[in-house]
Structure 1
Amino acid sequence: MGGVTVMMKTKLRSLAFKLARSSQSQSQPRVLSANTRPVLIKTVHSTPGTPEPRIRKFLEPRFHFARFCYHDRLFTPRSWGLRLLEVHNSQSSASSSTLTALLPALCLGLGLSPVLAEDASTEVTSAESIGLQKIDDGSVVSNIHTSKWRVFTDSGRDLFLQGKLEDAERLFMGALEEARQGFGERDPHVASACNNLAELYRVKKACDKAEPLYLEAVNILEESYGHEDIRVGAALHNLGQFYLVQKELDGARACYERALKIKRRVLGEGHADYAETMYHLGKVLHLQGKGNDAEALIKDSIRILEEGGQGESFLCMRRLQYLVQIYISSSNFTDALKIQRKILHTVEVSKGWESLETVIAAERLALILESEGGQGSLMEAKLLLQRCLDSRRKLLRDDNIQIAANMLHMARVELLLHSKTQGNISEATAIIDNAKHLLSNAIRIAQQALDKLIKQGAKSKPSQLSRTDAYSERTSLLILMQALNALSQLEVTKVELHEPVEKEMLHSEAEKALLDCISAFKQYGIQRSLSNFGDIKGEYLSCLKHLSALLTHSNSNGLKQTRRPSLQEVLDEIKRVEG
């Protein structure tokens, strides 16, 4: 029997190789890319007996699945397709290993909810069998295009995660073309490639290119699996996310509602993936002004996570934080404080105060207390912010921009506490002096951080900066302008505490801080293309309005006339910015 078994295996291998070569002869020339082929050949040669594990190191996707992984079964690949087997046989005398079918088509999943195109072939045979995966009509799906599709997809994903979007785009476009040639125009693998390329265009804000690809992915999956299939639901969720980012709220709502219906039918109302779409639909309704409906959906999505044992997860914390934002936007500080305290307690227990996540949660609680505005709330906010500053100094460098932001928040709380003091000049003076010390340090750190960032990117245009550096520049400029604006208000506040002879000098100090704020906007905001961001422009407008008020009520000549604009010039600039 043993001899018969060996003979049967040999015949099966022979038949498989003949089918494989027959399939390849009908495709384009069997040449891998110049960069890929040497790597694959070297990998195969360095592996005795079976090339499979070493090849997987280069080709197997390290899938970054978000929370949606829709498939009836997830196969473990035993082979990387016909072409790799031929390279091995033609270049090495080692015995052929047991290889099965090509990896099923799996969508890369760059967004929050990747679509998984289900295996379009017949079920994988056992480990003892040799054969090629075939699609339903019996044709062989393993060929040079499918191999290149996999290589392009995996390499593109790695480049995407590294932020090299231009290189990733070229590979994703190549993967789409190889999928169409290797699997057919309307195959689920093509939907997978469309989705990946669309996600990249979404990140690049190339909306006109992204939307048709999303729609094509949805259409192909609907043709392949029907309108109520879970993969269609996942693709609709992705499309809804795209519309949400574009603020096309009606389109986003339609996609999420349909996706939610599919997921409820297939997964049930207690499933975390059902809760994910419910949460995003809640965000859309909130933006549409339907606060009560939005709150109910987001609360339900949180409840599902908590009941499923994910109450301390990042996803749950993120949804709770969004719920806090909803309460703040409606001035419901009582519920906002309740939820934020819950968030802080959860992360403090799990991570402790040596974690920036805990520090950020505490700082958010302090800012809500600051908005609430009572004396007791302000004192609690002051203590929380001091604790945040102490932790940040242990975790970060002294010149980190987060420390400057922390100091800015502390100074603002001090100014609010000053407004609560009644007639105690010495206490009020101490509060003002402490706030000024904090603001001076915040200004110094923000200025240094901004100069350092711009020096590092001096040879790059603002559009060529990484997203992290661009965001850091914007944050540093915003904190610098806010601190200067706050310093101006502090100098005005000090007027009430001093004799009339000193008031003129203090007005000059307030005016100087505002002119420094305007100068920072022009030097950094305009030159570094940051002036059109809403928060930067809003702070600039606030600065101009404060300056116009000072110029209206002050006759200060303490500043050089060449630097000080006239009241009319300031009013004209306000009108221009508002327009």
Structure 2
Amino acid sequence: MGLGLLTSPALRSSSSRFVSANARCILIRTIFSTHELSKPVALSSEVELGVGKLAGANLFISGNRPMRLFKAEKSQRPNSSILVALLPALFLGLNSTPAMAEDSSSETDLGGLTKIEDGSVVSNIHTSKWRIFTDNGRDLFLQGKLEDAERLFVGALEEAKEGFGERDPHVASACNNLAELYRVKKAFDKAEPLYLEAISILEESYGHDDIRVGAALHNLGQFYLIQNELDRARACYERALKIKKRVLGENHAEYAETMYHLGKVLDLQGKGEDAEALIKDSIQILEEGGQGGSFLYTRRLRNLVQIYIKSNKLTDAVNIQRKILQALEVSKGWESLETVIAAESLALILQSKGSLMEAKELLQRCLDSRRKLLPESHIQIAANMLHLARVELLQYKHNQTSKDISKATQVLENANHLLNNAIRVARSDLDKLKKQGSNRKSYQVSRKDTHSQHTALLILMQALNTLSQLQVTKSELQEKTMLHSDAGKALLDCISAFRQFGSETGLSDFGDIKGEYLSCLKHLSSLLTTSKTNSLNQSKKPTLEEVQNEIKRVEANTKPYKR
């Protein structure tokens, strides 16, 4: 929830005289010069809304539609319906796309601006530059040109201080813009002082309980949350929630937004019941506000599902996940990967709950849909086959009392076929990514590349681990102990993949990758324990002692995995 965007001059009130396109170009070419405009820029100080007057500024909601807040009598309390306009204008959503600051000019504190007869305000050169630097910095920021945007935002902050004064709300907005950019660049040490300065100025200008302070506190809470500084994030969100409750009321979407984020913090702090209550309330507010089918609504439902899974409330998790899937089926159909992923998530919860037949049917439908939408070599198909094979294996174990050996063997063969295909796709994906990586310098490896390698390696290791368990199961069914050798080979391949792909890419330090490696080692230890020779018939024969020593080493170096 970042500070709002400055609108383009073309959308300001009709009483304003705008900066010409030529002047804008000149100012951008001379970002930090003192070039004087030939004509001053007139900024409207008020636009009638047909309501009372609030102390406020030139504010523009998303979509660059102009809106003005008015000056209230001291004895009047601001109408919450008026302030509702302020929040999305001044503090736009931060979760997916960071947003920039609004013009927050105050009629009561002009900071160097001079009034003219028609009630508008004439800017000086600094305020003109401030506006243009912010407009263009915002555009560059949204294009991902962060270095260019940073220069403009730094310039905007300097011009705001020169044109409005060191402690003016315009400076707070400029501070927040620059802080947002530093947050995206992960320059956290530069971002934090700017966030704090913005809050300090807003508190000084409007009071500690003003809605703008509440929105800025939400921003700071988000900043702390992404760094896992949970206590600080919680303190910011709790204070922001109190302010929004007082000003906007308990049924407003912005109040629900802060409530949801506070719930996320409490969840990470292990306070599952409190987190569940807050997130459920935030979902209900969206439903009652007519946003039941929105992206925010679906995201909160998914978060609630995760809380239910962690607290082992699988029936509740299934019910919410069905709700998500039904909504996607209606809106997007099974031709959408989003629907397929939601169905797969439901299948995995059903698997954990023991509803194996329904889980299997859903996973098969997901696989059929993915094969229509994606190439056969896609890593999502490999993951789908892995999940389906696991359900097949669980179903076999659940029905071990069946005396139909041929049917049981067929089930295991189906699972074996799925696992081998998953292994082939994942290994091919890793080889391709490794080849691409060798042609790049280390700093060119993107987060997307790392994520792709991580996904492929995890699927490969999980498939090999599952294959080893399947081979042991087949050996027990067919009473052929020689298949233990095949199980051992699958585990050795799993360990080899960890060392080959994990060590070279740094993926071996990821908690889930290391956890799968540890699982492979323990299965190998168990296999060696039951083996008469305490070794495997492979070219490289690890002994039981060697494997157990490796388990101890990994466990000693493994820290609790943080999400």
1:496 and 2:476 aligned: yes
Q: Which moved more, 1:258-267 or 1:241-250?
A: 241-250
- Equivalent residue for 2:444? 464
Change in Cα spacing, 1:447 to 1:204, as seen in structure 2 (3 Å) is farther
Counterpart check, 1:313 vs 2:301: no
Determine the C-alpha separation between the residues in 2 that align with 1:447 and 1:280.
Answer: 39
Q: Secondary structure of the equivalent of 1:527?
A: helix
Distance in 2 separating the partners of 1:115 and 1:146: 12
Aligned-pair distance for 1:477? 1.0
What's the counterpart of residue 332 of structure 2? Answer: 351
Aligned to 1:251, which of 232, 235, 242?
A: 232
The equivalent residue for 1:62 is: none
Out of 130, 134, 139, the residue aligned to residue 154 of structure 1 is 139
Aligned residue among 206, 222, 235 for 1:241: 222
Unmatched segments (≥5 aa) in structure 1: 1-15, 25-29, 38-51, 53-69, 79-104
Q: Which residue of 2 aligns with 1:537?
A: 514
- Alignment of 1:417 with 2:395, yes or no, is yes
1:33 & 1:249 partners in 2: Cα distance?
40
Instruction: Tell me the residue number matched to 1:520.
Output: 497
Contact 2:494 2:520 in 1 (8 A): yes
d(CA) in 1 for partners of 2:524, 2:513: 17
1:119, CA displacement in angstroms?
Answer: 2.3
How far apart, in 2, do the equivalents of 1:267 and 1:390 lie? 48
What's the CA shift for 1:153? 3.5
Q: Decide whether the 8 Å contact of 2:279 with 2:304 is kept in 1.
A: yes
Q: Counterpart of 2:481 in 1: which secondary structure?
A: helix
AA aligned to 2:364 is: Q
Correspondence for 2:430: 450
Residue type at the aligned position of 2:133: K
The verdict on how the C-alpha distance between 1:495 and 1:175 changes in structure 2, with shifts beyond 3 A counting, is farther
Shift of the 200–573 alpha-carbon distance from structure 1 to 2, 3 Å rule, reads farther
Deviation of 1:411 after TM superposition, in Å, equals: 0.6
**CA–CA separation in structure 2 for the residues paired with 1:32 and 1:214:** 27
Q: Which residue of structure 1 aligns with residue 283 of structure 2?
A: 302
CA distance in structure 2 between the partners assigned to 1:259 and 1:455 by the alignment? 49
Q: How much has 1:471 moved relative to structure 2?
A: 0.9
Give the Å deviation of 1:150. 3.3
Q: Which amino acid aligns with 1:391?
A: S
Residue 145 to residue 349, structure 1, CA distance change in 2 (3 Å):
closer
Listed one character per residue, the Cα deviations across residues 200-230 of structure 1 (whole Å, up to 9, x for unaligned) are 4434444333322221222222223222222
| Partner of residue 45, structure 1 | none
Displacement after TM superposition at 1:109 (Å): 6.1
User: Residue 101 of structure 2 contacts residue 176 of structure 2 at CA under 8 Å; is this kept in 1?
Assistant: no
Give the aligned length: 481
Q: Percent identical across equivalent pairs? A: 66
Answering whether residue 242 of structure 2 is matched by residue 261 of structure 1, we say: yes
Q: Distance in 2 between matches of 1:170 and 1:578?
A: 47
Q: Find the aligned partners of 1:473 and 1:175 in 2 and give their Cα distance.
A: 41
- Matching residue of 2:60: 74
Deviation at 1:480, TM superposition (A): 0.9
> What is the aligned counterpart of 2:409 among 422, 429, 433?
429
TM-score, length of structure 2 as denominator length: 0.78
Deviations along 1:231-285, whole A, 9 cap, x unmatched? 2111111111122222222211111111111111222211111111111111222
More deviation, 147-156/221-230: 147-156
Instruction: Identify the residue that residue 260 of structure 2 maps to in structure 1.
Output: 279
Letter in 1 for 2:303: Y
Distance in 2, matches of 1:574 and 1:447, equals 25
Give the TM-score, by structure 1 length. Answer: 0.76
The 1:513/1:309 distance shift into structure 2, 3 A limit, reads same
Separation of aligned partners in 1, 2:184 and 2:541: 43
Whole-Å Cα distance in 1 between the matches of residues 312 and 182 of structure 2? 37
Write the mapping of 1:273-422 to structure 2, written as runs, cut at 5 A: 273-373=254-354, 377-421=355-399, 422=401
Query: How many Å separate the matches in 2 of 1:357 and 1:282?
Result: 25
CA RMSD, 1 decimal: 3.3
* Cα 1:214/1:433, change in 2 over 3 Å: same
Q: Give the number of the structure with larger relative contact order, counting CA–CA contacts within 8 Å between residues 6 or more apart.
A: 2
**Aligned counterparts of 1:32 and 1:433: Cα–Cα separation in 2:** 71
Please give the residue correspondences for 1:167-246 in structure 2 after superposition, counting only pairs within 5 Å: 169=150, 172-246=153-227
What runs of 5+ residues in structure 2 fail to find an aligned partner? Answer: 1-16, 33-40, 42-55, 67-88, 557-563
State the distance in 1 between where 2:470 and 2:538 align: 22
